[in-house]
Amino acid sequence: MHILAIGIGGALGALARYALGGAVHRVIPGAFPYGTFVVNLLGCLLFGLVIGSAESRFVAGPATRAFLLVGVLGGFTTFSSFTFESFELLRSGEFIRASLNVLGQVAFGLLALWGGLGVGRAL
């Protein structure tokens, strides 16, 4: 049952990632991977919200956690794309943009996760 929940969640997460990443790229075009940046930050925030609320009030069984965390958010967040895009920036000689991408996503991802945990625990 977990496999099916993860598969369905992953498909939903991947579709959401594609839609949001594309929308951000259309709004903010350019060489910097803004779509992936926004998706990763939102994914960290949502992960924190789910974990934070599960710790305090929301009782999630193993299938629900697998669906949300491994499936939906695993399909939604894009760290493989993040790595590829950072590599491409480096390969293109865009060292400052590559550094901003790596440092920004890690630092703001940690802050977003922390914020999501706090909000999730407060719900």
The tens digit of pLDDT for each residue in 68-123 reads: 989 999 999 978 889 999 999 999 999 999 999 999 999 999 999 999 999 999 98
Q: Tally the domains of the chain.
A: 1
Q: Which helix (H) or strand (E) is 40 found in, with range?
A: helix 34-56
Instruction: State the residue range of the domain holding 73.
Output: 2-122
Query: 5 near 71, Cβ under 8 Å?
Result: yes
Query: 116 near 52, Cβ under 8 Å?
Result: yes
Query: 72 near 49, Cβ under 8 Å?
Result: no
Question: 59: helix, coil or strand?
Answer: coil
In whole angstroms, what is the distance from residue 22 CA to residue 1 CA? 32
Q: Which helix (H) or strand (E) is 88 found in, with range?
A: helix 79-91
pTM of the predicted protein model = 0.80
